[in-house]
Amino acid sequence: MPVQPILRLGTRRSPLAMAQAHEARARLCAAHGWDESAVELVPVVASGDKVQDRPLAEIGGKALWTRELDQWLVEERIDAAVHSMKDVETIRPDVIAIAAILPRADKADRLLGAASIAEIPAGARVGTSAPRRAAQLLHLRPDVTVVGIRGNVATRMAKLKAGEADATFLAAAGLDRLGEDDVGVRLDPQVWLPAPAQAAIGIECRRDDARVRELLAGIDHVESHAEIAAERRLLEGLGGSCSSPIAALSRISAGRIELKAAIFSPDGTVRIADAAEFEVGNDQAPLELARTLLNNAPPEVAEHFGEAT
Instruction: Show which residues are catalytic.
Output: 87
Closest CA to 57 of 154, 150, 159: 150
Amino acid identity for residue 107 in this structure: K
Q: What is the DSSP letter of 38?
A: G
Coil vs helix vs strand at 149: coil
Q: Identify the DSSP state of 306.
A: S
67 Cα distance to chain centroid: 16
| Beta-strand relationship, 145-147 and 125-127 | parallel
The rounded distance, in Å, linking the Cα atoms of 291 and 237 is: 7
Starting from the edge strand earliest in sequence, which strands make up the sheet with 256-264, in order? Answer: 246-253, 256-264, 271-279
Question: Could you tell me where the DSSP H helices lie in the chain?
Answer: 15-32, 47-50, 56-59, 63-74, 131-140, 153-161, 172-177, 210-217, 222-238, 285-295, 299-302
Chain centre to alpha carbon of residue 43? 19
Distance (Å, rounded) from C-alpha 37 to C-alpha 148? Answer: 41
Residues 149/130, Cβ–Cβ less than 8 Å: no
